[in-house]
Structure 1
Amino acid sequence: MPQPRPPKRATVHDIAAAAGVSRGTVSRVLNGGYVSAEARAAIEAAITEVGYVPNTAARALKMRRSEAVAFVALEPHSLFLDDPNIGAIMLGANAALSLADHQMVSLVVESTRDMERVARYLSGGFVDGAIVVSARAHDPIIRVISDLRLPAAFVGHPPDLSRTIPYVGIDNAGSAREITSRLVATGRRRIGMIAAALDRDSGLDRLNGFRSAVGDAFDEDLVAEVPHYDYGSGVKGMRLLLEREPAIDGVFAASDAIAAGALETLREAGRSVPTDVGIVGFDDSTWAVRTQPQLSTVRQPAKELGAVAAQLILRQLRGEQLETAGQLLPTPVVWRDSA
């Protein structure tokens, strides 16, 4: 039995015939040019009548643009799904790109093999630019993007990031210092930190902010280092702090997910929050309002970070000269019941 033929794709010729105008007039409308109001109305009606859909692939080939932007997350797959900040950054970026009729392509890098695959993909002309989240110092993605001269924007600021590549971020050190100072002001005397992701700027800056806030009371033994900003790291970090200092009465957790894990561990240990131990987090993510008590934390504008990163890409694609390499967004403290 012969296979049915796919329906014929409507063309500019079909629109012109249905509207009773020339192909040139149709082309002017499709490309945003000027035509009379009468001709435009006829052409728009004809487009609906013949079911015309623009051939974006041909347009991209002509313009040498894919009209797609990569969203590169350098995180374990499990954390990509578990961390609400990454999801919010991605949604913010996607919203901004959608308004500009650009498609977002998500790429998750967990291993060296992933990095090699993503490097080949970025080199192949499939995307016009890349938004990079969670890059570390000396990350291969920095060299890949620099070598390709690909329009890019980083969320966060690895210390070796080229000055020619723009970034958007927050003042992690200042924000950590502010919320830890609030914790100190509640009268806590043995304050520890569950410090995550010390191989990147956000984790190291939050630790430095904590150290600055506690001053002479800083104790290396009261810093539990964990690899990721996730719930499991909070459980492990809090257990470690309780082993080292059973009399601990304050904790700064490097993220809300970590703080949630720490709260559960304290509850299992029979410690009341905030009566026995005050705890603060970072992000003001969904974790912050799901815990009991709700978390005092720092509000990280995750969606705005993604949107600004996308705008930085779009501005580069339009050939605009960026005024500055980096932007920092505000991060107010949100004080709730956990401290």
Structure 2
Amino acid sequence: MAGRRSGGRRATIHDVAAEAGISRGTVSRVLNNEPYVSDTARRAVQEAVAKVGYVRNAAARNLVTQRSRAIALIIHEPHSLVLEDSNIGNILIGTNSVLSGADHQLVTLMIDSQRDSDRVVEYLRGGFVDGAIILSARTGDPISAAIAEMDLPASMVGHPSDAPDIPFIGIDNRAAAEAIVRRLMATGRRRIGMLASGLDRDSGQDRLLGFTAALGDAYDPDLVVRHQFYSYAAGMEGMEELLARDPSIDGVFAASDAVAAGALDVLHRRGVVVPDDIGVIGFDDSSWALRCTPALSTVRQPAETLGGLAAQQVLDQLSGVDFERALILPTEIAWRESA
């Protein structure tokens, strides 16, 4: 087995030095990628490492450095939605790319219950990670409060109104929602409803505020159907409810693309023609948007960039360098056939 000597003993730096015929100090400098090592010595160490099957003992290194070189990505979503929401996947890809480039390991922690929340807080207190990125935090999130209390280097993607003083990165959900709803209104729609989701977090709250601001005096609270999650099921259930409340609606703003996809399926089954009878718009420009028929008009947000910059905020804190504690990234409207 790689990394083991005869009798099951793990290969050590002494074995590498003996095989390469050079000092342990030189081996250590090569393994730590330090300068002032000749190319000949570097090649000898690399060949010796391969031959004896040496694997660096991360636990021993961590005891010396007091660093795990691991960063947690904490996702506050039910397990089923983690697989459904491509935005989460893109944020994860952006996060991992930056951490990998800095030789840090991404550790994904999912919160689907109070039990999960309690366990994750204890895990963070145990020093298993050097920092954390918090995704989809709700109002009153105990994990964010615990991280602030620990003074653990962290970043939030999004920023609930009661969030502790933790650096964050996000988008202007309110302005983006208002802009696309006004675009929908400009097509002549007059009875516009909203399938609102995620109202226990800043993104959902701000998208509803943007919808309300865009409609102004035309806003009708009876045409807002609320659901806890940004999910396909929320779109199906919400669209049925919205049609029951007012069959004359001619426009729908769904709080996410997954919600919009569920709404579109209901409309198709009922024989409602989109966009002729009802214009539908979403939010995110995720993979849902292009899978929809017709293709979905939506707000494009840079999910992968959000994850990457959140990771960089944590790395900057660990390095002690100056960084921006609050970053708001631009969005754009992707206008397609659904509206």
Letter in 2 for 1:162: P
Aligned to 2:332: 332
Aligned to 1:199: 200
Q: What is the DSSP-based 3-state SS (H/G/I as helix, E as strand, rest coil) of the residue aligned with 2:73?
A: strand
**Which structure 2 residues correspond to residues 178-327 of structure 1 after superposition, within 5 A?**
178-322=179-323, 324-327=324-327
1:138-172: per-residue Cα shift (whole Å, max 9, x none)? 21112110111111111100112223x11111110
CA contact 2:252–2:279 (8 Å) conserved in 1: yes
Q: Whole-Å Cα distance in 2 between the matches of residues 55 and 38 of structure 1?
A: 25
Count of residues in correspondence between the two structures: 334
Letter in 1 for 2:156: F
Question: Which 5+ residue runs of structure 1 have no aligned equivalent?
Answer: none
Q: Whole-Å Cα distance in 1 between the matches of residues 285 and 199 of structure 2?
A: 20
Q: Percent identity?
A: 57
User: Which of residues 41, 44, 53 in structure 2 aligns to 1:42?
Assistant: 44
Aligned to 1:122: 124
Tell me how far 1:6 sits from its aligned partner.
5.5
Letter in 2 for 1:131: I
Q: What is the DSSP-based 3-state SS (H/G/I as helix, E as strand, rest coil) of the residue aligned with 1:72?
A: strand
Q: Call closer, same or farther: CA 1:6–1:85 in 2, change over 3 Å.
A: farther
Q: TM-score, normalised by structure 2?
A: 0.94
Q: Whole-Å Cα distance in 2 between the matches of residues 108 and 72 of structure 1?
A: 6
CA contact 2:73–2:107 (8 Å) conserved in 1: yes
CA contact 2:236–2:259 (8 Å) conserved in 1: yes
Tell me how far 1:308 sits from its aligned partner.
1.1
User: Which of residues 128, 136, 143 in structure 2 aligns to 1:141?
Assistant: 143
Q: What is the DSSP-based 3-state SS (H/G/I as helix, E as strand, rest coil) of the residue aligned with 2:68?
A: coil
Q: Call closer, same or farther: CA 1:8–1:227 in 2, change over 3 Å.
A: same
Tell me how far 1:51 sits from its aligned partner.
2.4
- Cα RMSD of the aligned pairs, angstroms, is 1.5
Q: Whole-Å Cα distance in 1 between the matches of residues 79 and 32 of structure 2?
A: 41
Tell me how far 1:91 sits from its aligned partner.
2.1
Tell me how far 1:321 sits from its aligned partner.
2.9
Q: Whole-Å Cα distance in 2 between the matches of residues 6 and 161 of structure 1?
A: 54
Q: Whole-Å Cα distance in 1 between the matches of residues 42 and 74 of structure 2?
A: 41
Tell me how far 1:7 sits from its aligned partner.
3.7
Tell me how far 1:37 sits from its aligned partner.
2.8
Aligned to 1:153: 155
Q: Whole-Å Cα distance in 1 between the matches of residues 225 and 58 of structure 2?
A: 52
Q: What is the DSSP-based 3-state SS (H/G/I as helix, E as strand, rest coil) of the residue aligned with 2:200?
A: coil
Tell me how far 1:84 sits from its aligned partner.
1.4
Q: Call closer, same or farther: CA 1:235–1:6 in 2, change over 3 Å.
A: farther
**The 10-residue stretch of structure 1 (36-45 or 49-58) with the greater mean CA deviation from structure 2:** 36-45
1:36-66: per-residue Cα shift (whole Å, max 9, x none)? 2332232223223322221111111111111
Letter in 1 for 2:331: T
Aligned to 2:21: 20
Letter in 1 for 2:66: R
Q: Whole-Å Cα distance in 1 between the matches of residues 268 and 40 of structure 2?
A: 72
Q: Whole-Å Cα distance in 2 between the matches of residues 337 and 5 of structure 1?
A: 67
